[in-house]
Amino acid sequence: MIGFKSNVEYKEIRGERKRGSSLRSKSAKYRIIESYWVCNPLAKIEIISLEGKVKYLVNEASLSRREEEACKKLRSLITKELAPPETLNVDLEAYILSEAKRLSKKYRLSLGRFNEKSWEKIYYYVVRDLAGYGKIDVLMRDPNIEDISCNGVNKPVYVWHRKYESLPTNIIFNDETEYDDFIIKLAHMGGKHISSAHPMLDAMLPGRHRLAATFRREISTFGSSFCIRKFRKDPFSIVDLISMGTIDEILAAYFWILLENKMSMMIIGGTGAGKTSMLNALLSLIRPNDKIVTVEEIAELNTLHENWVQLTSRQSFRFGSADESSISLFDLVKLSLRYRPDYIIVGEIRGEEAYALFQAVATGHGGVCTMHADSLDHAVKRLTSEPMNVAETYIPLMNVGIYLSRVDLPKKRMDLTFGRRAINVWEIIDYEKYRMISQWSPREDKFHTRLEESYLLEEISIKKGFTRKDILAEVERRRKFLKHLVRSGKRSQREVTEEIIKYYDRYSRGKIGGGL
């Protein structure tokens, strides 16, 4: 039977504190809300309620003193004798594990004799510390975690759980030197540098996880800090958003027709509202053969379109005003025009790149972007102010505004008490002239959509020579198609994209139902 270890807090909760401790032991009442394995049988998660507070506990296999000494020796041996891999295309964890096994056989007498379960635990910690993320490796492996952050030494690491939201964990960095070294390790894993001279970091970790960090007390009062925004290996598709209730089939069908006809969209909302997830899901609705150029600071978007160019900005470490080595989003948006794209996708606009994007849309390109704002009116005010400086006459070039927000649900959906919803969808007719197309009802958890009032659908029908009845019938046809797709169980980006291609193949181009 494999034993488990955890830190002081976990032992306190379990009533395992030693006699004479000033901390409470068995007096702390808790209940386990949920538990699940992340790495069976070596790492388990327990979500507990303690004195009205919900906490996230990491419970890893414990090492005996002999096993701990063997683990340290093996880590040291690997760092000294690690043979370089024959190719760069290698699974780092698998390679470290194979090297650990090789060296453990070579130095069996020095390391000691252990049974199979003991070696399994030793290898787990060696791989966790050398190829993984050390103390937070379990958090990185938990698919329920969206964000991981720590605000300093002797402060608990916090996670954002998909089901329970923000939770403190039982993981704490107690040694400042160890913690600073960990921040440096994260920076190196992202191929970047962090130091007292350059104490801010924005990087991408292996697996496309986004890292933001500060170093020591240069700019952060409590010392080094970090926040990791985890990247989903299997990103949300439009079917996932429908299943989760972020949008419904009617709105998805409406967005599909707009994107097919190069209408531009702006997704607005606060931090954690789901803007990037929505943007990524909408990409699958763009015609399969259209050319897409994505522009981002950190590459987070992912599409299966073959005709796709992904551009990311670059920050320089040079000092002084004349810095020609940095490449901004503004530079990339201008460059994207040379690629003759059908759609330019900007991960987030907040500076002069907004002006360049609107200029691109004015020349006939489609554009989709995200922006931090809590209403369309505030978003437009930001666009027309410094440093974006978009002219008021250009505002209607962004045809649709979608406001996303994280909300408390009136009824549980998939055992969740909160969710993300497209609160409002507007069509932008002119500057300060908007038409509400859809509004989410918090009481019913339903969308009230009025497509018969759509100005853009009318514009498309006139351009294509169809009647309003024809285009509304096509929206309904696509709604039924998406509803069937949800029921079929096909939900991944690849499956959804393949089904959309089949949808186009069923109809002749130029006819209603086969591409408006």
Backbone angles phi and psi of 219, in degrees to 5: -130, -10
For residue 513, name the pLDDT band (cuts at 50, 70, 90). Answer: very low
Nearest CA to 57 among 70, 41, 38? 38
Name the more confident of 509 and 426.
426
User: What is the C-alpha separation between 28 and 36, in angstroms, rounded?
Assistant: 23
Residue spans per domain, the chain: 1-62, 65-134, 238-248+263-314+325-450
Q: Is the pLDDT of residue 21 over 70?
A: no
Neighbours of 193 (CB within 10 A): 13
Contact call for residues 202 and 297 (beta carbons, < 8 A): yes
User: What is the C-alpha separation between 289 and 379, in angstroms, rounded?
Assistant: 32
Burial class (CB in 10 A: 0-12, 13-18, 19+), 109: exposed
Lowest mean pLDDT: which of 5-19, 46-60, 429-443?
Answer: 5-19
pLDDT at 325: 67
User: What is the C-alpha separation between 412 and 419, in angstroms, rounded?
Assistant: 10
Name the more confident of 353 and 321.
353
pLDDT at 231: 86
| Strand positions, DSSP E, 27-154 | 30-39, 43-50, 53-61, 145-150
For residue 507, name the pLDDT band (cuts at 50, 70, 90). Answer: low
Contacts (Cβ under 8 Å, ≥6 apart) of 282: 238, 255, 259, 265, 368
**Helical H segments across 149-248, by residue range:** 176-189, 238-244
pLDDT at 355: 92
User: What is the C-alpha separation between 435 and 427, in angstroms, rounded?
Assistant: 5
pLDDT at 300: 86
- Coil, strand or helix at 157: strand
Any idea which residue has 């995200």 for tokens?
370
pLDDT tens per residue across span 89-135: 788 899 999 999 999 999 998 999 999 999 999 999 999 999 999 99
Long-range pairs of 34-37 with CB within 8 A, sequence gap ≥ 24 = 34/163
Any idea which residue has 């409002």 for tokens?
424
Contact call for residues 248 and 242 (beta carbons, < 8 A): yes
pLDDT at 261: 94
pLDDT at 516: 56
Alpha-carbon Rg of the chain, whole angstroms? Answer: 26
Exposed e or buried b for every residue in 310-333, given b needs 16+ CB within 10 A? ebbbebeeeeeeeeeeeebbbbbb
For residue 317, name the pLDDT band (cuts at 50, 70, 90). Answer: low
pLDDT at 127: 96
Contacts (Cβ under 8 Å, ≥6 apart) of 45: 35, 36, 37, 38, 56, 57, 58, 59, 138, 142
Q: Which residues pair with 434 in a beta bridge?
A: 428
Any idea which residue has 């470490």 for tokens?
317
pLDDT at 326: 81
Lowest mean pLDDT: which of 214-228, 309-323, 422-436, 448-462?
Answer: 309-323
| Strand positions, DSSP E, 4-151 | 4-5, 30-39, 43-50, 53-61, 145-150
For residue 401, name the pLDDT band (cuts at 50, 70, 90). Answer: very high
| Strand positions, DSSP E, 352-474 | 366-372, 400-413, 416-430, 433-441, 446-449
Exposed e or buried b for every residue in 144-178, given b needs 16+ CB within 10 A? bbbbbbbbbbebbbbbbbeebeebbbbbbbeeeee
- Pairing status of strand 343-346 against strand 366-372: parallel
Name the more confident of 1 and 59.
59
pLDDT at 130: 95
Nearest CA to 151 among 222, 204, 95, 96? 222
pLDDT tens per residue across span 458-483: 999 999 999 999 999 999 999 999 99
For residue 25, name the pLDDT band (cuts at 50, 70, 90). Answer: very low
pLDDT at 24: 37
Name the more confident of 450 and 300.
450
Backbone angles phi and psi of 485, in degrees to 5: -65, -40
* Sign of the alpha-carbon dihedral angle for 456, 461, 462, 467: negative
Helix 92-106 and helix 116-130, axial crossing angle in degrees, nearest 10:
130
User: What is the C-alpha separation between 485 and 488, in angstroms, rounded?
Assistant: 5
Neighbours of 342 (CB within 10 A): 18
User: What is the C-alpha separation between 396 and 404, in angstroms, rounded?
Assistant: 20
For the segment 323-348, the average pLDDT, to the nearest whole number, is 89
Q: What pTM did the predictor assign? A: 0.82
For the segment 35-41, the average pLDDT, to the nearest whole number, is 95
For residue 324, name the pLDDT band (cuts at 50, 70, 90). Answer: low
pLDDT at 323: 53
Mean pLDDT of the chain: 89
Contact call for residues 292 and 346 (beta carbons, < 8 A): no
Share of the chain above pLDDT 70, in %: 89
pLDDT at 412: 63
Name the more confident of 300 and 261.
261
Distance between start and end Cα atoms, the chain:
63
pLDDT at 512: 46
pLDDT at 349: 93
Q: Is the pLDDT of residue 20 over 50?
A: no
Q: Is the pLDDT of residue 508 over 80?
A: no
Q: Is the pLDDT of residue 398 over 60?
A: yes
Long-range pairs of 89-94 with CB within 8 A, sequence gap ≥ 24 = 92/131, 92/206, 93/127, 93/131, 93/132
Q: Is the pLDDT of residue 170 over 60?
A: yes
Neighbours of 3 (CB within 10 A): 9
Chosen CATH of 238-248+263-314+325-450 out of 1.10.1660.10, 3.40.50.300, 3.60.20.40, 3.40.80.10: 3.40.50.300
Lowest mean pLDDT: which of 162-171, 307-316, 383-392?
Answer: 307-316
